[in-house]
């Protein structure tokens, strides 16, 4: 589809212009943040300043400023978001710039939907694509959208499964020429490199591209509205939706799903309040204006590294788009945008470890030429969000040392009345308690306000399971989150240490379902948390029994990290919570037809009998060598190459000989990938295998051929209509 086939007619009500009043919003917002953080810092200084400020106390005060500053930022953002949603009026809500009625197909320009994948569950990816395709066809808009599956998979079997699934999907949907598949031979620069490859090859054909994740799902109405919004606001370069989590099974995922639906809206509204058209890009479930993205958003190389690129590309691309004077908006009220969540605490930590390194790489760009101040703030907050964990850990250690000093200095009373304590006629210990309770309230109040918004709206209250279920879910989520906080703090502190020490952090495929409790993995991941919790509890009790009680919110979560992690990973427990209505969310109460259709097809896919265990490891390789249809399809998708040199030809011949005479286990993953990339070798391997006498075949190929003959005539793909 060519971009020129779409009209350029604007369908706006009125394009939004944030330049006039957004500065006043930002001044008001950050004045509140600075005021609250300053008062808290003043109180903390008064608590520490008793008989002079020691070096240790000065260090604690310095650490307190960014830690409480982030608390104040989240609190103020939630309060402003609460007021915005309560009043139901936001002059900078970009979704108000187009009419509610859908346009005609002729009014929409060509748009590409990009699905970058990396060793993903093929059934989930393709069923999500199928669901979106049918939904767009249902509203008569399928002619304006093309789908691109952009694979960087390094698993040979996933590669073949993706190809077979794509061909079967196109046949079932009559989608040839509208659903495209591309497998890059070298996954250079990860997802950002995959998107760049698309832009070089096909970008000029499309006015817009919608970037999705492997687990993304978007309703047809949402996709059409996104294109409308871009047409109505020609200075908008990126429009980011607020993805809603769905399909949570484990208790942890259900808890995060509830938090996303219940608390997410006020934080998103507050975020939009102060950033307006200076928003951020989250890397998926967003629409991008292709031409300025190609022209202005090429990622720079990392300083001091010739070929290294930024792992977290999204923040950088948003900053580059703003530098080119295109706006970046958060369409937080749009709806119809979905994603999945990590199923376990360990999976959350693995994902955060990758994001941690990506965010720390942004430190190179804080002083980049031409960046807007607010984009520098976005990059700084991304770094600080991970840096807060080791700062909190250091603050706790310093606090233990300081309290120990206080108990040894009998002439220095912790309750001495000086400064604010004297003025308010309260002791220093009471002032500490007040500051602690204020901090706790600032962490709790945003969630309480979000829950209040749900309770005062009859429809929302019903969607979350009623008053009692909503309140109980809020309380349970808050308590469990408090227990998880020190565990995640140690995980993130370790990730920061790895980054600062230069340890390599790989970007592997994300796990989408728990698959049962991995006790060995849980014990490996949390044994040191338990030991750290026991040690901290012992030290704090030896310092003073009162200090032991102060440290309980930290030590309890660490000591019980193993059972907490196991319980939160338990699928059966998650299903029980769903049955009783705990952590109920609107998509579960009023199930979207798209989500229901996809889940039904996925249940059919996953009910199929899998290949036997001995064949599962190399099932894709067996298919592409044995099946003439799959072999021909795979070869046809390989790019034609010039004639190879004799050493290269001899190398591929040796690989093919080992594959056929010894079986796939005789080749490592890299050798299998090399063989699969060579069209001549794959054609020859198929022909040779079926002509080899039975006595020359290894046992593995004999069993694979027997299994193939039994299955001949059955569907080759796990995808169903």
How far lies 662's CA from each of 423, 622, 628, 658, 686, in Å? 85, 13, 21, 5, 15
Residue 514's pLDDT is what? 59
The pLDDT of residue 144 is above 90? yes
With bands split at pLDDT 50, 70 and 90, how would you rate the model's confidence at 544? confident
Q: Is the dihedral of CA 287, 292, 295, 296 positive or negative?
A: negative
The pLDDT of residue 696 is above 80? yes
The pLDDT of residue 422 is above 60? no
Look-up: residue for tokens 């704090």? Answer: 540
Adjacency order of strands within the sheet including 327-331 = 179-183, 145-151, 111-117, 208-211, 286-289, 236-241, 327-331
Pairing label, strands 286-289, 208-211? antiparallel
- Written as one string, the DSSP assignment of 408-443 is H-TTS-TT---HHHHHHT--HHHHHHHHHHHHHHHH
Look-up: residue for tokens 């199928």? Answer: 130
Q: Which helix (H) or strand (E) holds 114?
A: strand 111-117
Structure tokens given for 558 = 């660490």
Residue 28's pLDDT is what? 94
Whole-number average pLDDT of the chain: 88
> How confident is the model over 4-10, as a mean pLDDT?
44
CA distance 340 to 512: 7
> How confident is the model over 415-419, as a mean pLDDT?
48
> How confident is the model over 459-477, as a mean pLDDT?
95
Lowest mean per-residue pLDDT among 62-71, 225-234, 505-514, 615-624: 505-514
> How confident is the model over 495-503, as a mean pLDDT?
87
pLDDT tens digits along 266-323: 999 999 999 999 999 999 999 999 999 999 998 887 776 555 677 888 999 999 999 9
| pLDDT above 70 as % of the chain | 90
Q: Of 131-135, 433-437, 513-517, which has the strongest mean pLDDT?
A: 131-135
Residue 574's pLDDT is what? 92
With bands split at pLDDT 50, 70 and 90, how would you rate the model's confidence at 508? low
Tell the burial category of 344 from Cβ atoms under 10 Å away from its Cβ (0-12, 13-18, 19+): buried
Adjacency order of strands within the sheet including 337-339 = 217-218, 337-339, 244-245
CA distance 225 to 111: 12
CA distance 128 to 126: 5
pLDDT tens digits along 396-412: 999 999 888 877 765 44
Residue 513's pLDDT is what? 64
**Whole-model pTM?**
0.90
Residue 509's pLDDT is what? 57
With bands split at pLDDT 50, 70 and 90, how would you rate the model's confidence at 479? very high
Residue 413's pLDDT is what? 45
Pairing label, strands 327-331, 236-241? parallel
Residue in 389, 274, 335 with CA at minimum distance from that of residue 33: 274
pLDDT tens digits along 179-222: 999 999 888 888 899 999 999 999 999 999 999 999 999 999 99
Task: Please give the residue that has the higher pLDDT: either 385 or 186.
Answer: 385
Cα-Cα-Cα-Cα torsion 281, 284, 288, 293, nearest 10 degrees, comes to 70
The pLDDT of residue 598 is above 80? yes
Task: Please give the residue that has the higher pLDDT: either 499 or 504.
Answer: 499
Lowest mean per-residue pLDDT among 334-338, 584-588, 712-716: 712-716
Residues 6 or more apart in contact with residue 578 via CB below 8 angstroms = 254, 584, 588
Q: Is the dihedral of CA 188, 191, 193, 198 positive or negative?
A: positive
Residue in 280, 225, 264, 236 with CA at minimum distance from that of residue 108: 225
Residue 373's pLDDT is what? 92
- Written as one string, the DSSP assignment of 533-586 is HHHHHHHHHHH-HHHHHHHHHHHHHHHTHHHHHHHHT-HHHHHHHHHHTTT--H
Q: Which helix (H) or strand (E) holds 116?
A: strand 111-117
Q: Return the number of other C-beta atoms located less than 10 Å from residue 616's C-beta.
A: 12
Q: What is the largest CA-CA distance in the chain?
A: 98
CA distance 389 to 708: 53
With bands split at pLDDT 50, 70 and 90, how would you rate the model's confidence at 19? low
> How confident is the model over 109-125, as a mean pLDDT?
94
Residue in 26, 16, 146 with CA at minimum distance from that of residue 92: 16
pLDDT tens digits along 35-48: 999 999 998 988 88
How far lies 451's CA from each of 78, 219, 269, 474, in Å? 12, 26, 15, 7
Task: Please give the residue that has the higher pLDDT: either 678 or 641.
Answer: 678
């Amino acid at each position: 589809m060519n971009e020129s086939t779409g009209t350029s007619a604007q369908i706006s009500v009125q394009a939004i212009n944030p330049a006039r009043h957004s500065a006043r919003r930002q001044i008001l917002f950050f004045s509140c943040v600075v005021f609250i953080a300053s008062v808290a810092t003043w109180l903390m200084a008064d608590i520490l300043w008793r008989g002079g400020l020691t070096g240790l106390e000065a260090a604690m005060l310095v650490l307190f400023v960014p830690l409480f500053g982030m608390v104040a930022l989240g609190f103020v953002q939630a309060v402003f978001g609460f007021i915005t949603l309560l009043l139901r009026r936001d002059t900078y809500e970009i979704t108000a710039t187009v009419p509610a009625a859908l346009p005609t197909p002729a009014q929409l320009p060509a748009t590409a939907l990009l699905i970058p994948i990396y060793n993903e569950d093929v059934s989930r990816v393709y069923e999500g694509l199928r669901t979106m395709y049918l939904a767009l066809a249902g509203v008569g808009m399928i002619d304006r959208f093309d789908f691109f599956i952009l694979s960087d998979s390094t698993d040979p079997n996933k590669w073949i499964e993706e190809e077979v699934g794509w061909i079967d999907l196109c046949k079932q949907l009559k989608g040839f020429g509208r659903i495209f598949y591309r497998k890059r031979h070298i996954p250079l620069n990860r997802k950002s490199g995959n998107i760049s490859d698309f832009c070089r090859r096909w970008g000029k054909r499309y006015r817009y591209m919608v970037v999705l994740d492997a687990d993304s799902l978007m309703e047809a109405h949402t996709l059409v509205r996104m294109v409308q919004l871009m047409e109505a606001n020609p200075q908008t370069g990126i429009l980011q939706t607020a993805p809603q989590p769905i399909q949570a099974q484990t208790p942890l995922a259900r808890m995060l799903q509830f938090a996303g639906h219940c608390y997410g809206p006020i934080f998103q509204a507050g975020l939009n309040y102060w950033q307006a058209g200076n928003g951020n890009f989250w890397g998926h479930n967003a629409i991008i204006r292709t031409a300025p993205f190609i022209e202005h958003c090429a990622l720079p190389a990392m300083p001091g590294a010739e070929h290294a690129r930024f792992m977290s590309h999204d923040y950088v691309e948003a900053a580059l788009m703003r530098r080119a004077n295109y706006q970046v908006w958060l369409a937080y009220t749009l709806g119809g945008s979905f994603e999945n969540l990590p199923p376990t605490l360990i999976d959350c930590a693995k994902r955060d470890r990758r994001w941690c390194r990506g965010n720390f790489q942004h430190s190179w760009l804080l002083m980049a030429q031409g960046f807007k101040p607010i984009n520098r703030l976005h990059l700084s907050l991304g770094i600080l969000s991970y840096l807060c964990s080791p700062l909190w850990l250091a603050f706790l250690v310093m606090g233990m040392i300081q309290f120990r000093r206080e108990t040894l200095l009998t002439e220095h009373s912790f309750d001495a009345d000086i400064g604010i304590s004297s003025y308010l006629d309260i002791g220093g210990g009471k002032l500490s308690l007040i500051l602690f309770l204020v901090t706790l309230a600032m962490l709790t109040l945003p969630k309480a306000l979000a829950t209040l918004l749900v309770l005062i709206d009859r429809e929302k209250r019903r969607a979350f399971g009623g008053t009692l279920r909503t309140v109980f879910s809020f309380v349970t989520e808050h308590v469990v989150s408090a227990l998880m906080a020190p565990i995640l703090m140690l995980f993130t502190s370790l990730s920061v240490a790895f980054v600062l020490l230069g340890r390599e952090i790989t970007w592997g495929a994300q796990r989408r379902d728990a698959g049962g409790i991995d006790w060995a993995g849980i014990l490996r991941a949390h044994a040191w948390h338990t030991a750290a919790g026991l040690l901290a509890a012992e030290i704090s009790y030896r310092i003073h029994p009162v200090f032991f009680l102060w440290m309980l919110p930290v030590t309890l979560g660490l000591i019980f990290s193993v059972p907490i992690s196991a319980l939160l990973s338990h699928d059966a427990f998650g299903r029980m919570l769903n049955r009783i209505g705990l952590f109920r969310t609107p998509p579960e109460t009023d199930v979207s037809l798209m989500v229901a259709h996809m889940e039904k097809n996925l249940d059919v896919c996953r009910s199929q009998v899998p290949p036997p265990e001995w064949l599962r490891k190399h099932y894709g390789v067996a298919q592409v060598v044995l099946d003439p249809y799959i072999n021909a399809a795979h070869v046809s998708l390989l790019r034609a190459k010039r004639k190879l040199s004799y050493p290269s030809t001899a190398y591929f011949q040796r690989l093919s000989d080992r594959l056929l005479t010894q079986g796939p286990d005789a080749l490592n993953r890299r050798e299998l990938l090399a063989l699969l990339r060579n069209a001549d070798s794959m054609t020859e391997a198929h022909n040779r295998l079926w002509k080899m006498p039975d006595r020359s075949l290894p046992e593995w190929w004999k069993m694979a051929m027997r299994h193939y003959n039994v299955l001949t005539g059955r569907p080759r793909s796990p995808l169903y209509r």
